[in-house]
Amino acid sequence: MKTVKSALLGSKNLIDTNQEVLLVQLREIIKEHRALIINRLVGELPVYLDFKFQYKPDKDSSLKIKEELMSLKNSVVVLQHYESVVAQLMNRPVVHLTNEPFYQEIDQLLASIVQPNQMKFA
């Protein structure tokens, strides 16, 4: 049995029958964790965009960004974004899930939306 520990989800035990079963279970845990991060982020979106990208969205762009985040939240997890987590799971009995790979995926999405020529400064 393997365990994934998450500050947002607590400890999750995984059935360690084979690698494919482990990866399916890991995808679900990652999806749950990512959903919680995105839900929190959407509530503070203008603050985060200003902090991370120095971008102040208008109403339309804020709505578009929220829609894109919800799309990401509901999408299938691409394990290539979480290679370090997968590697840890294969080599250790306990994996501590950090928020870093989640924010890397989210920031990559946001950067593709928030273009430098669209930035608005106060």
- Taking alpha carbons only, the member of 41, 30, 25, 24 closest to residue 6 is 30
Using one digit for the tens of pLDDT, what is the confidence trace for 61-89? 999 999 999 999 999 999 999 999 999 99
Give 32: exposed, middle or buried? Use CB within 10 Å, 0-12, 13-18, 19+: middle
Question: Structure pTM?
Answer: 0.89
Asked if residues 49 and 114 have their Cβ atoms less than 8 Å apart, the reply is yes
Domain locations in the chain as residue ranges: 2-118
Asked if residues 7 and 30 have their Cβ atoms less than 8 Å apart, the reply is no
Using one digit for the tens of pLDDT, what is the confidence trace for 3-16? 999 999 999 999 98
Q: List, edge to edge, every strand of the sheet that includes 2-6.
A: 10-14, 2-6, 94-97
